[in-house]
Amino acid sequence: MLHLGRLQLLREVVQRGTVRAAAEALHISPSAVSQQLGLLAGETGLTLFERVGRRLRPTEAALRLAEHGDVIAGAIAAAEADLARLRGHLFGTLRLAAFPTAARTLLPGVMAALGRRHPNLQITLRDLEADESLVGLATDDLDLALVDEYAEAEIDWPRGIVRRLVLEDPLFLALPPDWPESGAVRLADLAEAPWIMDTETSHLYRVVVAACRAAGFRPAVRSHCKDYAVILALVAAGLGVAMVPGLAVRGRDVTVRLQPFAPPAARRIVAAVRRERLAHPAIAETLAVLERIGRGEGPSAAGRPP
């Protein structure tokens, strides 16, 4: 007979990639993980991992067992949802994550609204970029995450993740306040300007580079910054131009000149959740609040984008 706890532990190792990562997530020692995997191999009579250099690679048997672990995790999530409905009130912990601009502008209002309705529900928030949130969802470290999608930067979504559109967030050109007022600015007009960019690993960086190339030039990058407040400050000081999403300027007193550009561009803000958790009342209510925000009806931390 298979030991359920060992099967779930195997699933963690396969999803996280290493014994050490699984051990850290489960707050146990790597030697304890290895010991339990050895016992599971004995129960199955199969080799579960092969050593490749200094790493362990899961065998076909391990991958099959991990898939069964996914099914079991789904059944547990369904049981939790049923129990929550029977209780008639929400308690426990709801683990949320969002990329920085959404964490600042959208989720404070969501968390406050849910907290007022369900005082026994503990709601936590982690400020994570999209790729980090996807890992958290895949490994069951998160219940729901807000992720930004760009058409030019496709995301490799993990198996079993469901997306719900929250809103379309328009992109703007950010120009110094003394930029000549000569009507609409085309992207090609900025070919000689220095650019203030997000980091090279970000989705927005790839979007900006692709848009500039389509306009016939490669942007001359003066600075890379992760914080939009810094980007806007550098543009306001006349040190360059930038492309920023609407949420980056929501609720801020900005002195830069903001202008949509043609053709219009936007990023999609989506709520991502594991399929088996959709039925949980806390998840369902969170999605409902986010949908109302997307329609301009729900709570928010600040005013609307320009």
Q: How many helices (H) and strands (E) does the chain have?
A: 11, 11
pTM higher than 0.85: no
> Which residue in the block uniquely carries the two structure tokens 């994550």?
97
Amino acid letter for position 296: G
**Average pLDDT in the chain:** 84
The tokens of 25 are what?
A: 């997530």
The tokens of 4 are what?
A: 């359920």
Asked if the model's pLDDT at residue 305 lies above 50, the reply is no
Going from N- to C-terminal start, the domains of the chain cover 4-81, 91-168+268-294, 169-266
pLDDT at 167 (0 to 100)? 93
Neighbouring-strand partners of residue 209: none
φ and ψ of 268, to 5 deg: -95, 130
pLDDT at 298 (0 to 100)? 65
pLDDT bin (cut points 50, 70, 90) of residue 206 is confident
Percentage of residues of the chain with pLDDT beyond 70: 88
Q: What is the pLDDT of residues 212-266, one digit of tens each?
A: 998 899 999 999 998 999 999 999 999 999 999 999 998 888 899 998 876 678 8
pLDDT at 303 (0 to 100)? 44
Q: Are 305 and 170 in contact (CB under 8 A)?
A: yes
d(CA 303, CA 131): 28
Q: Are 208 and 195 in contact (CB under 8 A)?
A: yes
Q: What is the mean pLDDT of residues 103-130?
A: 91
Which helix (DSSP H) or strand (DSSP E) does residue 247 occupy? helix 246-249
- Domain 169-266, what fold? D-Maltodextrin-Binding Protein; domain 2 (3.40.190)
Q: What is the 3-state secondary structure (H, E, C) of 10-71?
A: HHHHHHHCCHHHHHHHHCCCHHHHHHHHHHHHHHHCCCCEEEECCEEEECHHHHHHHHHHHH
Asked if the model's pLDDT at residue 135 lies above 80, the reply is no
Considering the domain 4-81 in this protein, what is its CATH number?
1.10.10.10
Q: What is the mean pLDDT of residues 156-162?
A: 79
Residue of 81 and 245 predicted with greater confidence: 245
Asked if the model's pLDDT at residue 93 lies above 80, the reply is yes
91-168+268-294 has the same fold as 4-81: no
Pick the CATH number of 91-168+268-294 from 3.40.50.300, 3.40.190.10, 1.10.1200.10, 3.40.50.2300: 3.40.190.10
> Which one-letter DSSP state was computed for residue 275?
G
d(CA 262, CA 301): 29
Q: What is the mean pLDDT of residues 278-284?
A: 87
Residue 90: name the closest of 113, 125, 120, 115 by CA. Answer: 120
Q: What is the mean pLDDT of residues 96-106?
A: 93
Asked if the model's pLDDT at residue 195 lies above 70, the reply is yes
Residue of 147 and 276 predicted with greater confidence: 147
CB hemisphere CA count around 41 (13 angstroms): 14
d(CA 280, CA 79): 9
Q: How many CB atoms lie within 10 A of CB 252?
A: 15
Highest mean pLDDT: which range of 124-138, 142-156, 169-183, 218-232: 218-232
The tokens of 140 are what?
A: 């069951």
